[in-house]
Structure 1
Amino acid sequence: MKKLSLFLAALLTAAGAAAQNPTAYFMEGSTLRSQFNPAFAPLRGYVNIPGLGSLDISQTGNLALDNILYPRGGRLVTLIDSSVSAADALANLESNNLLSTGSRVNLIGFGAFTRNHKNFWSFDLNLRADMDAQLPYSLFEFIKRGQDGNISNIGIAVETYLEAAFSYSFPLLDDRLYIGVRGKFLAGAARAQLNYDRFDVALDEERWVIDAAGRLDITGAGLEIDYGTNDRGEQVFKPGDIDLNPTRPVGYGFAVDLGATYDILPNLQASLAVNDLGFISWSKGDTAVGNSAKNLTFTGVEVVEGQAVPQPEFDLDVLEFTPGAAAGSTRMLRASINAGLEYELWRHKIGIGLLYTARIREFKTLHNITGSVNFHPVRWFTLTGSYSVIDNRGGAVGLALNLCPNWINFFLATDLLTSKHTPQWVPVKQSNMHFTLGIGVPIGKRSHRIAAYVREDDKR
């Protein structure tokens, strides 16, 4: 039990720490907008500050952080910790608990308008990471209460890769329609997937019986496993016995982003994009596979009214795997769809926007609707306020700021400012969180895409 608890605690803590921010979608002028839709463009060309050009971190799912982290004795502990009662830990869990995190760090980024001030091209080198976890209520009930039952659909998937992307957008139909395409070459750094299709726990008066079937599949450079031997003389390993040294790619792939904007009326624009349509093929030679098929019995358990009292403290060997045959694999990326509608008022100084987003994650597709009010009284300043409804479960208030005068391009967007925080400044009461930051230097020609921003003497 201790090893399973430590494993889940590490997962939940990592998930609580960390993709696209819907508040930033209508953040006019920012260099980040084209990541949502390659048909978008900033107001000027740019060169990003390496590592700070665009930092985008998000967490989505159906769990708020205060369902995972609890203050105890001046520190934060996970719901697995013994200081958290079973009643508190289980009170707000769903039947199927989903956690998804994503991050994108821009390492190199630059772009510019062509001679006509309307066609725009850009190049970006990004480091990306995604994690998805699916943890059923019955698993936590077993850990906290010693409750038996049929536990299934435990899954964890992690993927990191480097993305080199070139995008180009151009006008059609007398500038009413803009088309954008981004081609992306992908180099996989590491990936892992753990699934338990069966984790059944039976309890009688004096013993536990656990019947589990699972699989661990991991790919990474410098993959080394410290194998051991079980009681039957079989070669086995556990997740803690795996060591990686991700200094080179272990998979390659390709993806595209496709986008368009269309001016339905002079002040009404619709936009649509499908992002991350692609795959990564992972190397067979850098992959390790483990299978877990366990039927374990633990005796000496006191049972009162169908539950173990006290909670048993045994070393759960169900996370022990026997080596399997490795194979190369091709896996699709986690694609997303963005569909927006924005109406401009008062000579392009105020915009009202509505955005629908669908993100196809490992275990479930997540849906999001965001309404926003966008203030841009001058072309180098945009302030956005938004409210998002996530999967019909609740909402989040977002704020975004973009500054793009002649000497800097700075943007910041988050939906954490209005949320409740712990003394450790960890946001709670919110199951979906986003943070976006970017700093760059404007260069080259200014855009002529927005008529209200074009000056007669604006030749650069």
Structure 2
Amino acid sequence: MKLRSLFSISIATALCCILSLDGFAQSTRSSYFMKTSYTRTSLNAALRPDQGYIGVPLLSNIYLDARTNTFNLENLTFPLNGERVTFMHSQIPASKALSNISDDNYVTTNLAFSIMSAGFYRGDSYWNFDFGIRANADSNVPKSVFELLKVGFDENETVTHDLSNVSLAGSVFAEIGVTNSRTFLNNSLTLGARGKLLLGISYVDLDAESLNITAGSEFWRAKSRVTLKGAGPGIKGKYDENEYDPTKQDFDGFNFGDFNIPGYGLGIDIGAVYDFKDAPVGFLRKLKVSYALNDLGFISWSKGNFIQLSSPETEVIVSPNDYSTHNDGSTSIIDIFDHALDDLRQAVNLHEDPRTSGYTATLRANMNVGLEYEVWDDKMTAGFLYSTRFGNYFTTKEFTLSANYTPKEWLAASFSYSLAYSAFKTFGLAVHIAPSRGINFFLASDYSIVRISPQWMPTSTKAINVQMGVSIPFGGRRP
């Protein structure tokens, strides 16, 4: 994978929202309070479905999610003479082009794919087994990158842009998990824990501790102190001849050896649910509170499958692309950033560091706090869920309100609204069909109405996710 590709993950994922797609867990928050949902165990190890199940192999849980605070067409394009043009158009002033860009512009993405899973009750205990693949990525592009593109070639002055907050961190790993939950205190308290064996497949961590580019009318002068960590089967650095200086060799990506498991790790989820059904005050008896901490753990990458590169803080002259070709605003956003990524690759002069050992990376931990109140006996509840995801370089939060309706034992639905990313432009919806015999099916999304362009780019949406699964009922219902 080229360094250009590493940068591209952060941009292309944000713009297209189609890569491995929340880092909060492996289930939509719309399913958190649904009694029929067996995937909600991944949000809180103490939450249990109404009945046991056997997941249909490869189809029991497919979950995709992406969220951002900036990257959509509404922020990067503008109306002009009856059409939309990019922020690079010469008639779009810099103040307007940068008005919707934050100091830090992040994307967080996640994929969860279950290969095999099953859950069943044994007495008052619930057991769940799952084997699947997970992938996630966090990336951040500072506002200074957009400023560099928009005003970096002002012929009247030379300007220095600080790009130090550029970052990217991501991993792909297999997860083998076993969950057990039990009830206590006359079934008022449920405690659950999930132990996980993790098999690392790949890892990347790009951190620009210092990256300054002084832009002139004809060239860029760059100084950087950047670290790139990578892991994969037999990973080695690849170097190509410098396009502008044949005496130099530039890092140009990775080569890989024979397949093996490059990393091993452990993880744990813990959760609790308390039902106030025996409370002395009447209105409290319809209340449930829940708390969970997930993905506490690590993956250790072995020496032969890990590489670290860094750039000494030396000056590099970059002959940048000609951005005047984008001034008519007709070029696609992808092409604009493609040129920018080429130039950033030149500015970051990476060299391999000698290492005598491997590397241990922590998981992206997350926390869920839930309140559920029964509105209609065994039929409808109102829920509030607060979720926090502790990322490598930034923390994201979400507040979700939901109305959860179970008209029949085999049918459940949830209507939700997430405050941080929906912006009154979308809502969540989950539907579960769960008969005691036959095939169970669910479809859910926390952001179910998404406006996209003909090129499948989000127009105003800041988040998108979808989840689906198919299973077969197994064993009895919850005691």
Cross-structure match for 2:358: 328
| Structure 2: stretches of 5+ with no match in the other structure | 154-158, 278-284, 323-335
SS for the counterpart of 2:419 is strand
Q: Bigger shift: 424-433 or 5-14?
A: 5-14
Distance 2:396 2:431 in 1: 26
1:367 aligns to 2:394 (yes or no): no
- 1:80-100 Cα offsets, whole Å, 9 max, x none, are 999997858644221111111
Confirm or deny: 8 A CA contact 2:293 2:368 kept in the other structure.
yes
TM-score, structure 1 as length reference:
0.84
- 1:364-421 Cα offsets, whole Å, 9 max, x none, are 1111111100110112111100111128977741011111102122111113432323
Name the amino acid aligned to 1:24.
S
Correspondences of 1:149-298 after superposition (within 5 Å)? 149-203=161-215, 208-228=220-240, 231=245, 236-239=250-253, 242-244=254-256, 247-265=259-277, 266-293=285-312, 294-297=314-317
Query: What is the count of residue pairs matched by the alignment?
Result: 431
**Structure 1 residues 277, 9: closer, same or farther in 2, change over 3 A?**
closer
Correspondences of 1:403-442 after superposition (within 5 Å)? 403-405=433-435, 406-442=437-473
SS for the counterpart of 1:428 is coil
- 1:192-222 Cα offsets, whole Å, 9 max, x none, are 1112222212245765322122121111003
Distance 2:417 2:34 in 1: 14
Confirm or deny: 8 A CA contact 1:220 1:246 kept in the other structure.
no
**Structure 1 residues 229, 53: closer, same or farther in 2, change over 3 A?**
same
**Structure 1 residues 392, 299: closer, same or farther in 2, change over 3 A?**
closer
Structure with more strand by fraction? 1
- Offset at 1:333? 0.6
- Offset at 1:187? 0.8
- Offset at 1:246? 8.0
Distance 1:51 1:428 in 2: 32
Distance 1:369 1:84 in 2: 39
**Structure 1 residues 193, 86: closer, same or farther in 2, change over 3 A?**
farther
**Structure 1 residues 442, 243: closer, same or farther in 2, change over 3 A?**
same
Confirm or deny: 8 A CA contact 2:235 2:257 kept in the other structure.
yes
> Where in structure 1 do 4 or more consecutive aligned residues deviate above 6 Å?
3-7, 68-72, 77-86, 299-302, 311-314, 391-395
Confirm or deny: 8 A CA contact 1:206 1:301 kept in the other structure.
no
- 1:405-449 Cα offsets, whole Å, 9 max, x none, are 02122111113432323234544312122211111111111112x
- Offset at 1:63? 2.0
- Offset at 1:247? 3.4
Report the RMSD for the aligned CA atoms in angstroms: 3.4
**Structure 1 residues 64, 232: closer, same or farther in 2, change over 3 A?**
closer
Cross-structure match for 2:282: none
- 1:13-48 Cα offsets, whole Å, 9 max, x none, are 234212442112112211101111111111111111
Confirm or deny: 8 A CA contact 1:208 1:301 kept in the other structure.
no
Cross-structure match for 2:120: 112
Confirm or deny: 8 A CA contact 2:316 2:349 kept in the other structure.
no
SS for the counterpart of 1:143 is helix
Cross-structure match for 1:308: none
Q: Bigger shift: 353-362 or 218-227?
A: 218-227
Cross-structure match for 1:50: 57
SS for the counterpart of 2:311 is strand
Confirm or deny: 8 A CA contact 2:237 2:352 kept in the other structure.
no
SS for the counterpart of 1:144 is helix
Name the amino acid aligned to 2:360.
T
Cross-structure match for 2:476: 445
**Structure 1 residues 224, 328: closer, same or farther in 2, change over 3 A?**
closer
Name the amino acid aligned to 2:251.
F
Name the amino acid aligned to 1:92.
N
Q: Bigger shift: 406-415 or 371-380?
A: 406-415
Cross-structure match for 1:142: 148
Distance 2:386 2:176 in 1: 27
Confirm or deny: 8 A CA contact 2:317 2:347 kept in the other structure.
no
Distance 1:299 1:378 in 2: 67
Distance 1:277 1:372 in 2: 27
Distance 1:208 1:260 in 2: 55
- Offset at 1:11? 3.4
Q: Bigger shift: 44-53 or 85-94?
A: 85-94
Q: Bigger shift: 246-255 or 203-212?
A: 203-212
Distance 2:265 2:443 in 1: 31
- Offset at 1:62? 0.9
